[in-house]
Structure 1
Amino acid sequence: MISPSSPSLPLDPVFGLILELSSRKPAPGTPCRLEDLFRELSETEGTQSPEDVEDMIWVIWASHEDETAEETMEAAVEALASGSLKQARALLDHLVSRHPGWAEAWNKRATLSFIENRDADSLADIGRTLELEPRHFGAISGFGQICLRHGHLNEARAAFQIALSINPHLDELRDMLEDLAPQNLMLH
């Protein structure tokens, strides 16, 4: 684990963005259907299972009106899953350059950078993701993971709490928050 004093890691701009997310709106052109899905995700008694609603949100985020862009995203996701990181990087770099308003392209590239331990790059892409889609609980969770990796436990806790306020069905995050509770940290 890297010590908590990692001055070169640009946490503050992204953390500030995360703290103000509730006052921000998604970028113009974001599918309106997401509003209803996020509302349903936050309800305790929705008409669909929370997993189905979350899956629909991810499908919409990964969708694009440009069929070629969508196919490129699918290829990038497959490359990521198979460990072909160089190929995934080329595809995702192409997507963010060609479609800079597509939040999920930035988020996937942030994920790739996290896998590659390029946390400053990942933070920059998380920031861009959240500028476009402030409800992106995956990007917020990714920020929390970076904070954990660098020993910034308070920021990780805050990020996980905010992600859970958007999607209260992220059980893994709830468990991580429990593990990060001050009384539990002292037991380890």
Structure 2
Amino acid sequence: MEIIISKLKSAATATVILFASVGAVYSQSYDLDVLFDRLQKVDAVDATALEAKIVLEWSKSGSAAFDLLLTQAKIAIDAQDHKTAMQHLNALTDHAPNFAEGWNLTAVTLFNMGKIGPSLEAIERTLALEPRHFRALEGLVFILEDSGLYKDAFDVVLMIESIHPHAEILSKLRDRLEVKIQGQAL
């Protein structure tokens, strides 16, 4: 168990360093830059619509064939057919290795299959391509929390907040992790 936690800490540290070093310099598209800029300035009421637009932009690969693979993977994920989802996602990431959303859904599917190490690797690939991918960061929070790395998970929550200040999940995560961090301190 200690080896697993050590590897998780190393992976989490590498991801945090990667995120911090790349910052918001990389951009998938001009539209995303504009949407993320607006996300910083809107009220909570308008943030949900902007989040939906960002998620829509993330799902655009620029190829009808790749978009179809992504759609088929989402359908399989919703049906909890992880094997089929991974077949579509492997084809997608093999042929479109610079498509961040393909890696993000790969991370989700691997996590749901209980394959934490490979899920972390897919999160790292996602964040290398799109450092502002708050959904990938949410996945990292859950992995760190499940591993008992509450302080590290809380640090990632703060990263999410810096990207998407009105994310609905923030207050739940922040409150839950603060209690766990205080429990560890006792």
Q: Same fold by TM (over 0.5)? A: yes
The unaligned stretches of length 5 or more in structure 2 are none
Query: In the TM superposition, what is the alpha-carbon distance from 1:6 to its structure 2 partner?
Result: 2.6
Select the residue among 108, 133, 137 that pairs with 1:136. Answer: 133
CA distance in 1, matches of 2:180, 2:60: 42
Aligned to 1:80: 77
Task: Pick from 30, 36, 49 the counterpart of residue 52 of structure 1.
Answer: 49
Cα contact 1:18–1:140 (8 A) shared by 2: no
Residue 4 of structure 2 aligns to a residue whose secondary structure is coil
Q: Is the 8 A contact 2:5 2:147 kept in 1?
A: no
Q: 1:183 to 1:18 in 2, by over 3 A?
A: closer
Look up the SS of the partner of 1:108 in the other structure: helix
- 1:60-139 residue pairs with structure 2 within 5 A? 60-139=57-136
Aligned partners of 2:150 and 2:180 also within 8 Å: no
Q: Percent of pairs identical after alignment?
A: 25
Unpaired segments ≥5 residues, structure 1: none
Aligned partner of 2:36 among 35, 38, 47 = 38
Give, in whole Å, the separation in 1 of the partners of 2:175 and 2:167: 13
Alignment check: 8 A CA contact 1:143 1:159 kept: yes
Partners of 1:185 and 1:13 in 2: CA distance = 24
TM-superposed CA distance for 1:171, in Å, is: 2.4
- If each structure's helix is expressed as a fraction of its own residues, which one has the higher value? 2
Q: Secondary structure at the match of 2:125?
A: helix
How many aligned residue pairs are there? Answer: 182
Q: Give yes or no for the alignment of 1:161 onto 2:161.
A: no
Cα distance change, pair 70–156 in 1 and its aligned pair in 2 (3 A): same
Say if 1:100 and 1:159 are closer, same or farther in 2 by CA, change over 3 A: same
Q: Report Cα offsets for 1:100-150 as digits up to 9, x if no partner.
A: 000110000000011111010000000011111011111111111000111
AA of the residue aligned to 2:38: E
RMSD of aligned residue pairs (Cα, Å): 2.3
Give the partner amino acid of 2:29. P
Greater relative contact order, per chain length (Cα 8 Å cut-off, separation 6+): 1
Contact 1:144 1:156 in 2 (8 A): yes
Whole-Å separation in 1 of the counterparts to 2:30 and 2:54: 11
AA aligned to 2:87 is: A
Matches of 2:116 and 2:7, distance apart in 1: 7
* Superposed displacement of residue 10, structure 1: 3.9
Q: 2:14 aligns with which of 6, 13, 16?
A: 16
